[in-house]
């Protein structure tokens, strides 16, 4: 017979949450929070978008089929959005995190935690998004909400699980920690958060998975199947683990929702912008013509450069990320770049064995992939 769980004290939810960012994921998180009974103010950069969303109860640009619940108020007034907030979800693209955190910091009540929901590494500094927010909003608890999620499915009420992590003093009781409070604040019958104290491990998984997804998309677009995808996901997970550990994270975190879960989802569906971008490139579509030339944000393109820059400084091998960088940033032909990756010296799977020897079919691999791929 299964033993009953030891039930911890129930964390106190945040009654009022400010969600900064009216894109698809910001809207989805705002909808989840409102369904969970929270008072939500959803800040949108565009005043006309906010006005229409308030009037029609639908976001006119994103998740148009999702009705905005009672308790969710769209606004373009940043000061009002943050007034009286007990927690802030910062859901803007990674390149805007520093600016948005700096703008929000003096307007939010003192001590209110900021949960950064963007994923990536800042190019100029090599900092994770939580570290960027910490610099821009010093003295505040910083966390993240991340995991294997597509915004449309989350908003539609599909069963969804995420990881919530946040910096908190070590002597804070578990039920009073910001991650636990945010988790209980977002929990609904279909949205299930898990709590973590490994912010670094969670964030590294979220940053690197976008780059691996581009690689999977490229190879799928070039006509390769599930064997290839499984190899890239598995070896990509190894790259995530090594970077996370080097930065002070834990390996077991990377096998959770924020690492392996997010990686599998992003690498396996055309709903992922990163996978879709890679798929089109693998079909031979030029960079300028991807998404029919529309200005779609593909975080993995920039992350491929920032992550490999960081890895090089650490003298860390991340060959899949390097391959993607060569294709999307350096202009190397796809077949040539993949051949160089696939025909590398053979090695042991556990890196601790430190075993390598030349690939006996290197020249044949270079010829084959050069012929098959654009």
CB 179 within 8 A of CB 143: yes
* Catalytic (active site) residue 209: yes
Residue with the two structure tokens 């599909």: 158
Cα(274)–Cα(280) distance, rounded to whole angstroms?
Answer: 10
Cα(332)–Cα(307) distance, rounded to whole angstroms?
Answer: 18
**Cα distances (Å, whole numbers) of residue 245 to 117, 194, 215, 239, 300:** 21, 21, 23, 10, 21
DSSP state string for 151-202:
HHHHHTT--EEEEEEE---TTS-GGGSHHHHHHHHH--SSEEEEEES-HHHH
Residue with the two structure tokens 């590294």: 204
DSSP state string for 274-339:
HHHHHHHHHTT--GGGGGGG-----HHHHHHHHHHHHHHHTT---HHHHHHHHHHTS---HHHHHH
Cα(138)–Cα(121) distance, rounded to whole angstroms?
Answer: 18
Active-site position among 65, 119, 209, 241: 209
Q: Would you state the structure tokens that stand for residue 78, as one six-digit string?
A: 């940043």
Calculate the CA dihedral of residues 275, 277, 280, 281 and round it to 10 degrees.
-110
- For 9-13, the CB contacts below 8 A with 24+ separation are 9/173, 9/175, 10/175, 10/184, 11/175, 11/176, 11/177, 11/180, 11/181, 11/183, 11/184, 12/176, 12/181, 12/184, 13/37, 13/38, 13/181, 13/184, 13/185
Cross-strand bridge partners of residue 342: none
Catalytic residues: 209
């Amino acid at each position: 017979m299964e033993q009953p769980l030891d039930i911890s004290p129930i964390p106190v939810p945040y009654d009022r949450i400010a969600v900064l960012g009216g894109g698809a994921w910001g809207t989805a998180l705002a909808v989840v929070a409102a369904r969970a009974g929270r008072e939500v103010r959803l800040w949108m950069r565009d005043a006309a978008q906010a006005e229409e969303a308030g009037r029609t109860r639908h976001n006119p640009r994103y998740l148009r089929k999702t009705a905005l619940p009672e308790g969710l108020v769209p606004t373009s007034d940043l000061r009002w959005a943050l007034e009286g907030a007990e927690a802030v979800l910062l859901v803007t693209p990674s390149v805007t995190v520093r600016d948005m955190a700096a703008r929000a910091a003096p307007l939010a009540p003192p001590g209110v935690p900021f949960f950064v929901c963007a994923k990536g590494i800042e190019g100029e500094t090599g900092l994770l998004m939580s570290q960027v927010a910490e610099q821009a909003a010093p003295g505040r608890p910083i966390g993240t909400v991340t995991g294997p999620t597509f915004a449309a499915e989350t908003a539609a009420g599909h069963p969804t699980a995420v990881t919530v992590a946040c910096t908190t003093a070590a002597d804070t009781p578990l039920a009073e920690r910001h991650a636990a409070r945010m988790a209980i604040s977002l929990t609904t019958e279909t949205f299930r958060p898990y709590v973590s104290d490994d912010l670094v491990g969670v964030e590294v998984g979220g940053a690197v998975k976008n780059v691996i997804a581009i690689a999977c998309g490229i190879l799928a677009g070039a006509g390769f199947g599930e064997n290839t995808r499984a190899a890239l996901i598995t070896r990509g997970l190894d790259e995530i683990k090594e970077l996370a550990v080097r930065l002070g994270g834990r390996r077991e975190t990377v096998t959770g929702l924020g690492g392996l879960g997010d990686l599998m989802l992003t690498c396996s569906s055309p709903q992922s912008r990163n996978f879709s971008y890679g798929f089109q490139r693998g079909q031979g579509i030029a960079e300028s013509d991807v998404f029919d030339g529309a200005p779609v944000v593909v975080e993995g393109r920039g992350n491929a450069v920032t992550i490999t820059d960081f890895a090089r400084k650490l003298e860390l091998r991340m060959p899949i990320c390097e391959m993607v960088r060569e294709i999307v940033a350096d202009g190397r032909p796809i077949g040539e770049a993949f051949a160089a990756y696939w025909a590398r010296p053979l090695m042991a799977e556990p890196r601790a064995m430190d075993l390598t020897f030349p690939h006996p079919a290197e020249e044949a691999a270079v010829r084959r992939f050069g012929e098959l791929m654009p």
